[in-house]
Chains A and B, each alone.
Chain A
Amino acid sequence: MKNDKNIIEVKNLVKHFGGVYAVNDLSLKIPRGEVVSIIGPNGSGKSTLVNLLSGMVEINSGVVILNDAEKLKKIKSYEIQDLSITRTFQEVRLFEQMTVIDNLLVVLTNRSVFGSFFEVHKKYHLEEVERMLQRVGLEAKKNQLAKNLSYGQRKLLEIARALLMKTEIYLFDEPFAGLFHAMIKTVSGIIKDLRKEGKTVILIEHNMDLIRELSDYVFVMDEGSLLAEGEPDSVLKKKSVIEAYLGK
């Protein structure tokens, strides 16, 4: 961890679904401007952590501290934009019966009812969307319905939508899953660019080569708790981490 300024600190975070603790007394610090990977076997609580940070599920107890200052015991999903957080989803969630271009334009819209009612999308909105579509290689698909895209294209569109939010924190939940080589290159290029721009990326991923290539720091979760943390090469060699993935 190179940066000692934390953009997110999670203290004693708990989330349970009935009697099952998906996140159990989790504490960790995420430094600003780095790519931080969260790994762990399926069901270890990685996606629940992202859902908690993005207000998709309610925090049972614990606190999320932003920028070493703002303490949050509750996060509402429609407020995370104000906290400069955006995300993608493990299972892609697009606006299926809308065109590719509308899937992107919608996040550039005025957030208030009255503001959006009388808003006309300006030329720069459209140009921004066109640029983003070129960046992810979907410019030829812009007038297609999102539901007609291939799986990889859907993932790319979701990433493009998150990028248009221009936030400080990006939560990417398995962005490489199911992508072809060329698409993996596009997405890893995007993550590298975000790091260059000083943005913070929290990456949930299973591909160890990509984790080594992209991450500055790695947290390993198991059964809702933190199992290990450190720089990728050292963490991925730890016996406890290998056992959590492969079994004892």
Chain B
Amino acid sequence: MNYTVYYIVHLLTMFSIYAILGVSLNLVVGYTGLVSVTQAAFYGIGAYATALIAKTAGFGFFSSMLIGVIVAGLIGLLIGLVLSKFRDDYYVIVTVGFNIIAYGIFMNWHSLTRGPLGIVAVPRPKIDFLGLHLDFNNNLLFLALVLVFLALIYFLARFIAKSSFGRVLKAIREDEKAIQVFGYNAFYFKLAIFVISAGMAAVAGSFFASYLRFTSPNTFVLMESVLILSMIILGGLANLKGSLLGAFILVLLPELMRFVGFPNEIAAEMRQIVYGVILVLLMIYKPSGIMGEYKL
């Protein structure tokens, strides 16, 4: 694979991982109106669960991913139970707290996570089934696999958004007290979508750890959650295509910076500034985001 193809495949892989994160968070923020800033925690849980289970227990990638999704879902359930006590600004602050706690655990539980050293040599997926042998050490094949999962998650999210369940989520977003009068216990609906979203984010984490063959706490900091949230606000809330667009912009922006002449070492930092400016302008001129169907 020549360098240009390798580079494009890398960008598309990162886009796909962020797109999964964006789609998962949009279900919570865009469709249900719960401003959560803890998606990086579930992303991290997926990454660590896959890395640890695949390395220590010798499970295959897909089994490890499944366990990661279940673990993230269970932790999402616990966090969701706590979050049900909070609303609006307090809800946001508590989600921030959970991300900080998750980062603290990734960083300080040395015996499990190796702390700042992270976990190395995370295996790539392999398929050996009915005479089919696929080794995803090849980045192009790995990209194809992530795209398949992105498509699955996108269509699952679309199914949710268009279902009666999705319609109730939107009503909760619009007026939780009013929808309850019509016989819906909003608590269970909010909990369900939070758990589903956590599980989806864990899928992104599994792919991330396997793609880089490494995972460390620094990827799952609070800023990462802010970035994922910004991405869906930019692309558009309550619009799944908007999540894809947001992820596309997020991944391509630093690369564009490089092409317009910013040195590599400051391109990443400039990305944050340019991204911030875009968000401020968007909030002034189009607060629902580029393709959004809901305004916070």
Contacts and interface: CB of A to CB of B under 8 A. Distances in A.
Interface stretch (A17-25, A58-66, A92-100, A127-135): A92-100
Contact of B295 (A87, A97, A102): A97
B181 A54 contact: yes
**Interface size range of chain A in the complex:** 35 or more
Contacts of A121: 164
Nearest to B293: A97
Interface in B159-200: 160, 163-165, 167-168, 170-171, 173-175, 177-186, 188-189, 192
B184 A78 contact: yes
Contacts of A210: none
Contact of B168 (A80, A106, A161): A106
A153 interface: no
B142 interface: no
B184 A119 contact: no
A116 B186 contact: no
B177 A106 contact: no
Interface residues of B, number: 28
A50 to B, nearest CB: 11
A78 B168 contact: no
Contacts of B177: 56, 77, 93
A113 B163 CA distance: 11
A143 B81 CA distance: 36
B48 interface: no
A80 B181 CA distance: 7
A69 interface: no
21 contacts: A78-B180, A78-B183, A78-B185, A78-B186, A81-B182, A94-B175, A95-B171, A97-B170, A98-B171, A105-B164, A109-B164, A109-B165, A109-B184, A111-B184, A113-B165, A113-B189, A113-B192, A116-B165, A117-B163, A120-B164, A121-B164
